[in-house]
Chains A and B, each alone.
Chain A
Amino acid sequence: MLPLLEWIENSAVSTALRDSPNVFLYPTILAFHTLGLAVVVGFSSAVALRILGVAPALPLPPLRKFFPLMWVGFWVNATSGVLLLLIEPTKFLTMVDFYFKLLAIVGAVFCMRWLYRRVFLAGVAGDASLPPGAKFVSALLLGLWLGAITGGRLTAYDDTHTQWVTAIATLVVSAVLLALGWAAVRVWRIVHPMKGEQRHGRAVDELAPLAQR
C-alpha cells in the first residue's frame, strides 16, 4: 500500500500541486476546502441551532431549501479534499487523526440526512411536532462538526502526543465557552424576562399555514 501512496505522492501532478509557488494551485484548493466547509457546516449548524430552540419564531419548513446548498458545500469539500489528499497521501493516510476526522464527517452527514428526512421531508410544521431525538441529533451534529474541524486542524501536527493534547484542550475550552455562554444567557433572561420571545412565539402559529405550502 505504502509504495502506491509514495508513487502518487511523487507523481508529476502531486509534485506540481505541492511545490508550485502559484497561489492558484495548492492555496486555492485549500481555500475552496474552507469555503465549502463554511457553507455545509455553517448552514447545517444554523438549522441545528434552530431545532435546538434558538430563534423559535423561524418557521421550520422553508429551511429545507438550504439543504441542497449544504450538499453543494459538501461536494466542493469532498472534491478539494481528495485533491489535498493526493498531494500528500503518505502523510494523511498514516495518521490516526485523519481517520477520526473522516469518521466525524460520516457521522455528521448521517445526522444531516436524518434531520432532512425526519424533520423536513416529513413536513414537521413546528417545534411541537419535532420527532423524538431531533434535538439530540442536532446537538450531535454540532459536536461532530467540532470534531471534524479539530481533526482537520490537527493534521498540521506530525506527533500524536501534541494532537491528543490539542484535541483534549479544544474539547475543554469549547465546553467552558458553552457553559459560560449558557450561564450568560440564563442571567440575561432573568434580568430581561422573555416578553419579546413570547410575542414571536405567537407569530409562529400565524405563519405556520403559509410556511407549509
Chain B
Amino acid sequence: MDALLTSWLRWPSVERLIIDHLWVWGVCQSLHFVGMVLLIGTVGMLDLRLLGFAKELPVAAIKKLIPWGVFGFVLCLVTGFIFVAGMYANINVPGYIVLKSDVFLQIKLVFVLLAGLNLLAFYATGMSKAADRLQPGEQAPRLAKAIAIASIFLWMGVMYFARLIPSGKFQP
C-alpha cells in the first residue's frame, strides 16, 4: 500500500517536468499565493460583513465576488497538488512521505477540510439564503456570524500552518 501510494503520489511526470524546467516550481508557488490572495480577499470580505463590519454592503452583492475566490481556491488546489506530486524534484523526499510525516502539512489539510465543511454548513443551514436577504445595515443571524468566525479562524490557520510545513519533520 505504501509503495503504491508513494509511486502514485510521486507522479514521475510532474517530477520530471520540474527537474527539466525549474521555473515550474517557482511559477506554481507564486500562483499558490495569488490563489490565496483571491480566496482570502473575497471570502474575508463576506465573513467580515456577516460579522457586522461595513454593514452598508448588501451581502448578495459581495457574493458576486466569490467566484474569484473559488477560482483562487482551484489555483491553490492545482498548484498544491503539483507540490505534492513533484516534491521529490525539490527536496529529494517523495510527497507521500511528507504527507505522512509532516504534522504541519497534516494540520493544514485538516483545516482546509474543516473550512470546506464550514462552507457546506453555511449552505445546508440556510444561512446563505438568509444572508442573501440581508439589506444594507441589517445584522446577520447568530449562526451566520458563528460560521463567519469559524471561516476566518480556519483560513488563518491554513496559512499559518502552511508556513510551518518546511520546518516539519519528514521521516519515512
Residues of chain A whose beta carbon lies under 8 Å from any beta carbon of chain B:
21, 23, 26-28, 30-31, 34-35, 37-39, 41-46, 49-50, 54-59, 61-63, 65-66, 69, 145-146, 149-150, 153-154, 156-157, 162, 165-166, 169-170, 173-174, 177, 181, 200, 203, 207, 210-211, 213
Contacts and interface: CB of A to CB of B under 8 A. Distances in A.
B168 to A, nearest CB: 9
A145 B62 CA distance: 22
B37 A170 contact: no
A82 B159 CA distance: 20
Contacts of A26: 167
A58 B62 contact: yes
Nearest to B63: A55
Interface stretch (B6-14, B49-57, B110-118, B141-149): B49-57
B44 interface: yes
Interface in B1-40: 22-24, 26-27, 29-31, 33-34, 36-40
B151 interface: no
B159 A166 contact: no
28 contacts: A23-B164, A27-B164, A30-B163, A34-B163, A35-B159, A38-B36, A39-B40, A45-B41, A46-B42, A46-B65, A55-B61, A57-B64, A59-B61, A62-B55, A63-B57, A65-B53, A65-B54, A66-B45, A153-B33, A154-B26, A165-B22, A169-B27, A170-B27, A173-B27, A173-B31, A200-B64, A203-B58, A211-B136
Interface string B111-149: 000000000000000000000000011000000000000
Contacts of B62: 55, 58
Please classify the interface of chain B as helix (H, G, I), strand (E, B), loop, or mixed, using the class held by over half of its residues. Answer: helix
- Residues of B in contact with A, size category: 35 or more
- Which of B27, B54, B60, B137 has most chain A Cβ within 10 Å? B27
